[in-house]
A and B are shown apart, each in its own frame.
Chain A
Amino acid sequence: MTEKYIAKSSAIASRMLGGEMMIMSALDSTFFTLNPAATVVWQAADGRTALSEIVRNHVCREFDVDIEIAQRDVEHFVGELSQHGILLVSDRPFPKPSASPTEAA
């Protein structure tokens, strides 16, 4: 199976609210909220960590779930968000992003 890498689009707004991630697409103002498991995937989507590693090291570590079921659910979730342009998917790691403003400050 080809490995996947996921990165957050820059054309979004997002914020944690009560343990769930809110995301709005800047392209069409579509609004999403992610449940805690999806939020874990979202937070780990740094463009450089393989999706299988995110499932194994983040999702399965934080939630009591079988790895195969988790992988299937996460693939579905990633497919859905990528259709809306919220997540970018590639079969190779994304280039390293520039420092965030908080890091740069």
Chain B
Amino acid sequence: MSLMQEMSLRALDLGVPISVHFDITYRCNERCLHCYLDHDDHGEMTTSEIKRVLEELAGAGTFFLTFSGGEVLMRRDFFELLEYARHLMFSVRIKTNAVMIREAEARRMMELGVDQVQISIYSHRPEVHDAITKLPGSLQRSVEAIRFLTGQGLRVVIANVLMTANLGDGAGVQALARELGVPYTLDPTITPKMDGDTSILNLRIPGTELSQVFRNESLVGNVEEFCAPPPPPDEDVMEGYPCSAGHTLAYISPYGDVFPCVQFPLPSGNVRRQKFIEIWERSSQLKEVRSIRAKDLTVCSGCSHVGTCTRCPGLAYMEGSMRGPSTADCEKSFHRTGIASANMLRNLEDRSSPGGPLIQIQSAVA
């Protein structure tokens, strides 16, 4: 076990929010097709409010701090907040589209000891990337920024979201990342908008494409191992927690709302009204999240994928129940292994079309 894993386990035992994802603004200079946010400013926290929250997080034991948005550099006080966070000894990661990062900003990030900068790139082709961001010239600006950042010695990761609008460009972005000398990550998850609007879900890629992604050795490593059928779940799995959301991870919005995770819109308190540690320790919502073991999951506890599925409790919550299945993750498990999830089988039975539905699943694998 690595030191990092040991530390995560200790944080779990001690109930410490070791990681916090802090969206300091929802404003953005891009308007990405798949974005789940409302970009209007409905009353963001001020500089002094955020600094106070950072102090509270340091006191609560938070070590990993991700500044994200929106676009973090839309805040004029971004570097003041970053400097303050580093004075408080957080390990800081930044998620950005990097359009506003030039040499001076890159140098400042390096001076302040930023751990990693994650930059969204959706295609190696400007006509595709810029059509997704709806900001002409954005690919060129973001790629230039990557060069400024790596030139300073900063660690940069390219993050690509795979959707119907950039289908087929994954390899191109991967090659671009290689050329720039930075790691590449790919996420096929499209989440509903924060107001519950699910219209953007039609950007999700078809299952056949997911199957290809999961069989791309350069993305998943050992394909045979990655796509292997799940082993039977043992007691440790059934007594285990679904994920770190609310256990060692918290999310804070620009308005001070606290949630278990950025993908888990369960309002659990607000740091404008309460101290963060009070919310973390006393929120009934967070206590409920923490009470759930794999054995408590309504459908997934009886699913062969329960020990290996990437089931997101936040997506499950948005589907109707934090104890229920997350259909997007059911599909991932299915397209990874070729084995239908309990939720998929249940849905097919519910449709009660004799004989047909199971054949549909089998044909999708082929």
Task: Identify which of B16, B55, B58, B84 contacts A17 (C-beta below 8 A).
Answer: B16
Number of A-B contacts (CB under 8 A): 62
Whose C-beta in chain A lies nearest to the C-beta of B91? A13
Q: Which of A14, A15, A100, A101 contacts B51 (CB 8 A)?
A: A101
Kindly state whether residue A10 has any CB partner on chain B within 8 Å: yes
Q: Is A31 an interface residue (CB 8 A)?
A: yes
With CB as the reference atom, state the residue of chain A lying closest to B13: A18
Please indicate the chain A residues that have their CB under 8 angstroms from the CB of B261 in the complex.
Answer: none
Main secondary structure of the interface of A (DSSP, over half): strand
Alpha-carbon gap, A4 to B193, bound state (A): 57
Shortest Cβ distance from B58 into A: residue: A15
Contact yes or no, A17 B14, CB < 8 A: yes
* Interchain CB contact (< 8 A) of A101 among B4, B7, B88: B88
A29 to B113, CA, bound (A): 10
Q: Mark B61-92, 1 if CB is under 8 A from A, else 0.
A: 11100000000000000000000101111111
Contact with B along A86-105 (1 / 0, CB 8 A): 00000000000000111001
Cβ of B115 < 8 Å from any Cβ of A? yes
Known: A13-B89, A14-B89, A15-B63. A26 touches B7 (CB 8 A): no
How distant is B289 from chain A, measured CB to nearest CB, in Å?
Answer: 21
Asked if B328 is at the interface (CB within 8 A of a chain A CB), the reply is: no
Distance in angstroms from B164 CB to nearest chain A CB is 35
A60 at the B interface (CB under 8 A): no
Query: A residues within 8 A CB of B63?
Result: 13, 15, 17, 22, 24
B residues near A102, Cβ cutoff 8 Å: 55, 88
Query: By CB atoms of chain A within 10 A, which of B7, B18, B114 has the most?
Result: B7
Assembled-state Cα–Cα distance A100/B58 (Å): 13
User: Considering the complex, which residues of chain A in the window 7-34 have a beta carbon less than 8 Å from any beta carbon of chain B?
Assistant: 10-18, 22, 24, 26, 29, 31-33
Q: Which of A18, A24, A31, A102 has the most CB of B within 10 A?
A: A24
A31 to B7 alpha-carbon distance, docked (Å) = 10
Residues facing A in B98-147 (CB within 8 A) are: 113-116
Number of A positions contacting B (CB below 8 A): 20
Answer yes or no: B11 CB below 8 A from chain A CBs: yes
CB distance from B72 to the nearest CB of A (A): 18
B16, B61, B86, B113 — most chain A CB neighbours (10 Å): B113
Inter-chain contacts of A22 with B (CB < 8 A): 7, 63
B3 interface residue, CB < 8 Å from A?
yes
Q: Is the CB of B61 within 8 A of A11?
A: no
Contact of A18 with B10 in the complex, beta carbons under 8 Å: yes
- Confirm or deny: B155 has a beta carbon within 8 angstroms of a beta carbon on chain A: yes
User: Chain A residues with Cβ under 8 A from B84's Cβ?
Assistant: 101
Shortest Cβ distance from residue A4 to the other chain B in the assembled complex, whole angstroms: 23
Q: Verify A12–B10 contact, CB threshold 8 A.
A: no
Interface residues in B18-64 (C-beta closer than 8 Å to A): 18, 51, 55, 58, 61-63
A11–B4 Cα distance when bound, in Å, is 19
Q: Which 6 A-B pairs have the closest CB atoms?
A: A26-B113, A13-B91, A15-B63, A101-B87, A11-B113, A14-B89
Given A17-B7, A18-B10, 10 new contacts (CB under 8 A)? A10-B113, A12-B113, A13-B91, A13-B92, A13-B115, A15-B61, A16-B61, A17-B14, A17-B18, A22-B7
